[in-house]
Structure 1
């Protein structure tokens, strides 16, 4: 079961007050302790302040830890052996596509080439999977997010193989006109499963969120923020310097502080990285995937 992470050095008083057994007075005491000591060093300091029964009740549902905000950005590491029960996995492909797996829920960003979701991600292989295919079964994915304008034949073939709950595209008009000639795209249109990729678009659950950023005008640049627990990763697709500057001034991007940035097509400029509080820049040519338990990110 996924436990939401609580970093004692960054959690707000308002969030503390929502924890079971922590009222206004205890929350302020914890904040005062943090202010006087600069920061928590060990979760045991938290257990020394709150009553034992309150602490034991909290740790049943929350992962309490103390990471300094000054070193938090360096906690993207390759030491995967230290990660237990990974919940979020991001698989990179070479053609600006990736697949996000969260507790068996699958989100596909751009149509992958050269990767078989059944084998590599869904683990649906063998004779039974083949028989189910013959009977018209299609593995379910939660969403397909397209950062550009896809070839309609390719998109239709993908939708023929996978049952997507929703499809986010750059321009709905293009999809309605060109896609209406394709069987499976038409099914998506008729079921009203097609949505526009924009800064107002997002995919959200209790523990997980995908936020989308699209520069105004005809720019091909797109950015996607994947937030899970206490960590987040910003994915940038063909974001030229002008697009990055536009994102800085986008009201929807306020508070954009990802732990890591992965860029396709154009490298992030220094001023943009400073705006994001200098996150770790991950070279996707050298890394194959990211995994996270909601508290730390590990790259391999």
Structure 2
């Protein structure tokens, strides 16, 4: 089977509350501009190509798209690209967005939203996406402060019908416990990949034990973060990739998915070929020996 024939279904599925998603999804952050993402000086992306990438993702079985109203450049908004490309939306498409951070029209970051400001952010996502409700909203967190007030505000919006399910992003285990005392949490979205610290492994396992999806960001980019992956990779990662006729990026995604059935992937790209390769990574089956070698890299990067 060629990469072009592999669909997101090859990775298996997970439940976000009552919503079934394929474990390979799509992150919309890189759609809005070329080069480093979420900066004020990056070059705007090609609108038509971004639309084609989104439509191709759905054709390849992607039914989980991660976005945010603060994913925009001078000329592009990820939410509005999603709206243009995919509305009217397929019945099985789950769009996950984030609230908490905000950016002014020039792209500069604003202070985290106060609890009373979160409704405005939710409504902005609704407007941009052309939806009457949001499937999943993640409260994006910075630091160690309590999230009870802000998560409680989102729980009220869920009760009002504006949000179907809630998640949290960039959090610590104590945040998950705090949120679950207020309302059900369907996902935790945290930075994770080969080389993540041991406490991240422990948190991933905790989420699995609680039936909460763990959704890594920067699983491919690693230390490159918003700038993306570098051109070279660890020798062991490259060796496993060569053995499968795959790329190092595909091996990193596959390794992440092997960490547990509750782990979802949301690799992002504005390149149609990279999209096909990312989806195909969901079909990559690593052997126990290969997993052991990659685990050793993971522990010692």
Pairwise same-fold verdict (TM > 0.5) = no
Name the one with the larger helix percent: 2
Using structure 2 for the length normalisation, give the TM-score: 0.31
Which one scores higher on RCO, CA 8 angstroms, separation ≥ 6? 2
Name the one with the larger strand percent: 1
Q: Flag the structure with larger Rg.
A: 1
